[in-house]
Homo-oligomer: A and B are copies of this chain.
Amino acid sequence: MNEPMKKQMALFFPFWEGLSSQWQEQLAGNASIRHYPKGSVIHQGRQDCLGILLILSGQIRAYINTEEGRELTLYRLFDGDICLFTASCVFNSIQFDIFVTPVQDVSVIHIPADVYRSCLEENARAALYTNELMASRFSEVMWVLEQVLSKKLDERLAALLLEEEYLSGSTDLALTHEQIANHLGSAREVISRMLKYFQSEGLVRLSRGHVHLTDLAGLTALAAEK
């Protein structure tokens, strides 16, 4: 039963072969393929507890809302990644609200939170792997914290533009000033002003809904400043 699903899951979970056939059946039998269009809402903080998502294709963004109503991107996840915080109720000690939205249309394997929790309760290797997943996300948030503490906004903006160029494989980025502000926890007007300054320095060229990177070496030098 569910052989195609089991094959997919084996690619995501390094502990898969160590599970009993009953547990493999249990996970695969309760899993389903789901699709979320770009910009839809997958998860809105602790009141939601959708389940674990194994990302088959697309890109999602996990962010927080600051008290001023700004967004700050914590991390992005891609094909082959596992989204743990959409099942935040699995862990009682998660006392913060993360929001999850697709940056591109995504297809995922969904495993209900209660099924995953039961699996962890009986399978040490699965629980230990979930520790590693949480430690990975923790590491990404620590990186963001260090950026926010140590880097000036122009350096963080340069780093974000280079990251987007790397992810899209193009120097023509389809990004609004609002979207950029939401990645960096800043305000749209602040980002618009900074982008105009970047344009005046020859680093980018701006057009409606697009940022064209015109000086990658200059952006790289700026991003690497301490």
Binding site for B on A (CB under 8 A): 64, 66-68, 70, 72, 91-96, 120-128, 130-139, 141-146, 148-151, 185, 226
B91 touching A132 by the CB < 8 A rule?
yes
**A34 to B144 alpha-carbon distance, docked (Å):** 34
Q: Contacts of A145 on B, CB cut-off 8 Å?
A: 64, 72, 141, 144-145, 148
8 A-B pairs (CB sep. < 8 Å): A67-B146, A70-B149, A72-B145, A93-B132, A120-B131, A123-B124, A137-B138, A141-B141
**A172 to B144 alpha-carbon distance, docked (Å):** 35
**A60 to B175 alpha-carbon distance, docked (Å):** 44
Q: In angstroms, how far is the closest chain B Cβ from the Cβ of A28? A: 20
Q: In angstroms, how far is the closest chain B Cβ from the Cβ of A2? A: 23
**A132 to B131 alpha-carbon distance, docked (Å):** 9
As for how many copies of this chain the complex holds, the number is 2
Question: Given that A66-B150, A67-B146, A145-B144 are contacting pairs, would A93 and B124 also be in contact in the complex, using a CB cutoff of 8 Å?
Answer: no
Question: Given that A121-B124, A124-B122, A138-B141 are contacting pairs, would A131 and B66 also be in contact in the complex, using a CB cutoff of 8 Å?
Answer: no
Q: Contacts of A150 on B, CB cut-off 8 Å?
A: 66-68
B64 touching A146 by the CB < 8 A rule?
yes
Q: In angstroms, how far is the closest chain B Cβ from the Cβ of A163? A: 17
Q: Contacts of A92 on B, CB cut-off 8 Å?
A: 132, 135
**6 additional contacts (CB under 8 A) given A64-B146, A95-B136, A123-B124:** A67-B226, A91-B132, A96-B139, A130-B131, A134-B134, A138-B141
Question: Given that A67-B226, A149-B185 are contacting pairs, would A121 and B125 also be in contact in the complex, using a CB cutoff of 8 Å?
Answer: yes
Q: Contacts of A93 on B, CB cut-off 8 Å?
A: 132-133, 135-136, 139
Q: Contacts of A122 on B, CB cut-off 8 Å?
A: 124
**A35 to B212 alpha-carbon distance, docked (Å):** 58
**A154 to B216 alpha-carbon distance, docked (Å):** 39
B142 touching A96 by the CB < 8 A rule?
yes
